[in-house]
Structure 1
Amino acid sequence: MFVISGVTGNTGSIVAQTLIDQGQPVRVIVRSVEKGDAWKAKGAEVAVAEIMDKDAMTQALQGASGAYFLLPPDLTNEDFLGDSLKRADVIVAAAKAARLPHAVILSSVGAQHSDKVGPISTIGHMERLFVAANIPLSAVRPAYFLENIKDLMPVVLQESVYPSMIQPLDFKIDMVATKDIGLTVADALINPPTIQHRVIELKGAEQYSAQDIAAALSKSLGRHISPVPVPQEAWVDTFKQSGLSQQSAETMAEMHENINNGRIEFLNPNARKASVDLASFVEKLVA
């Protein structure tokens, strides 16, 4: 039995559906009975639990051969970092109480660092907690999400510009779609590690820059989209205008700064590569 959290989001839904399609027994963790109805109709068991309820989470994990966890970010929270750390503590405590034999978590490129990586620090914290608890762990560390492009589409469509904090505009980084992340997690659950702490780094199909993204958008939309740099001094205010709290905005700005300066980088030059490329992702996005 594989227990999957986050099934109302991108990666969790892909993990659960992939396992169900393969005939694997699946139990999904949801916050209300209604959110589990669709999964029950697909043949999954449904466990209702809030992340901060250790007893309910422990019960949801009983009898599992493996489970998938992520830290769903609440970027509007004024204490985003503190709240995320508390949720990580509860998740690991519940896994330990349930004697979970294998956990797979959504980590991130750069999670080997405990500072100067923005919100990635909270995921790295959870990774280290699992290791300290002696729970066999597969930490999936993907690249920058291609889905971040979706958040900028209103500006793209209204102003024909692609604003970027990845700079300079010709700076190429790995970008990966959540579909590939979900498939990687499902594979990790089905094939547990032979070591206590397995790190699975997931690079993009290729590396892309803001210029590459603007070019792909131009081709798919049939009109010219210009890449434009967002000045670093405006990053925090830009995030706040999008609804992020002060703390969340500052951590997101820190993350982008350290992507640009190379601190947030893969450890393994031969890491696994994703299959979804920029062109196909953008084509589907604007269809």
Structure 2
Amino acid sequence: MFVIFGASGKAGRVTAAALRRAGKPVRAVVRHARQGESLAELGCEIALADLTDPQSVAAAIKGAHAVQLLCPVPSGDTDPETTMRTMIDVATNALCEDPPATLLAISDYGAELPLNTGITRLYHYLEKRLKPVATQLTLLRSAEHMQNWAAFIPGALATGTLPSLHLPLERRFASVAAQDVGAASAGLLLESQQSGTPRIVSIEGPQRVSVNDIAAALSEASGRTITPHALPRESWTPMLLKAGLSENHARLITDLYDVHNTGRIDVEASRSERRFGTTALRDVFGPLVAKFNSQ
């Protein structure tokens, strides 16, 4: 049994579908029954679990041969760091008690850094907590998801301006489509590789991009001129608070970009295998723009 946490998400759904196409039994773990309806149509067994609830997590991994673990940063939470650390502790405690033969965790570029990297430091904590689990561990470190720009698209279409915390606008950085992460995860779960140390795999898109490239791709997808705008550092927190994030969540993001903009959040080249997705920015932005235009 392949157990996929976060199976209703953009990456997890692709993983579950790929495993089903390969003829593997899949238990799709979701929080709400309605999220599992389309996964059940693929032939997945559906498990309801909350990563903060030890009993439901233990039930979800029972009898698993392989587990894909995804601990998302909780949205709409006044203290997402504390909640996510609880999720990590609950999941890793359950996995230590009932370890599968294979465990893959979706992590983050820069997770190896023992620094205050905001959101990324939570994935540093995840990796640290998982290493004692008696399993063949793969850490799939993902670059920033292209889909993260979706939150900026309505404003960009309305104003013609794309605000950015990435500075400077011409600096290129790693980015990847969520579906490419899901496909890579499925492939890794299907590989039979045994070693005594964690396997570290990094995935990013076919080429590195700048905010200028992102604005150009959004212009192409929308048929409108979208101009990138470098937000001054003092504007970051007010913008995030205005968008509805809590102060704690906003701090995680600003701490992340303070480090990201120095170029230190990248592939751990000395230890990591490299994987590259095939999905380009235009392939992601086209459907997103169409979705917003139809609303």
Measured against the shorter chain, the TM-score band is over 0.9
Residues of 2 paired with 1:220 and 1:41: CA distance? 32
The CA deviation string for residues 56-84 of structure 1, in whole angstroms up to 9 with x for no partner, is 21122122111111112224322211111
- Corresponding residue for residue 95 of structure 2: 95
What's the % identity of the aligned pairs? 28
After the TM superposition, which residues 1-287 of structure 1 pair with which residues of structure 2 at under 5 Å, given as runs? 1-195=1-195, 196-268=197-269, 271-287=274-290
Which amino acid in structure 2 is aligned with residue 110 of structure 1? G
For 1:147, what is the secondary structure of its paired residue? helix
Unaligned runs of 5+ in 2: 291-295
Which amino acid in structure 1 is aligned with residue 211 of structure 2? A
C-alpha distance 48-216 of structure 1, shift in aligned 2 (>3 A) = closer
The CA deviation string for residues 138-166 of structure 1, in whole angstroms up to 9 with x for no partner, is 11111111112211111111001111111
Is the contact made by 2:5 and 2:70 (CA closer than 8 Å) also made in structure 1?
yes
Residues of 2 paired with 1:98 and 1:59: CA distance? 10
Q: CA deviation at 1:189?
A: 1.0
Scaled by the length of structure 2, what TM-score is found? 0.92
Matched residue count: 287
Which amino acid in structure 2 is aligned with residue 121 of structure 1? R
Is the contact made by 2:8 and 2:36 (CA closer than 8 Å) also made in structure 1?
no
Which amino acid in structure 2 is aligned with residue 243 of structure 1? G
For 1:207, what is the secondary structure of its paired residue? coil
Q: CA deviation at 1:41?
A: 2.9
Scaled by the length of structure 1, what TM-score is found? 0.94
Is the contact made by 1:75 and 1:245 (CA closer than 8 Å) also made in structure 2?
no
Moved beyond 4 Å, runs of 4+: none
Residues of 2 paired with 1:203 and 1:67: CA distance? 22
The CA deviation string for residues 157-194 of structure 1, in whole angstroms up to 9 with x for no partner, is 10011111111110111110001000011111111442
For 2:60, what is the secondary structure of its paired residue? helix
Which amino acid in structure 2 is aligned with residue 42 of structure 1? L
Which amino acid in structure 1 is aligned with residue 137 of structure 2? L
Is the contact made by 2:19 and 2:25 (CA closer than 8 Å) also made in structure 1?
yes
For 1:107, what is the secondary structure of its paired residue? strand
RMSD: 1.7
Which amino acid in structure 2 is aligned with residue 86 of structure 1? T
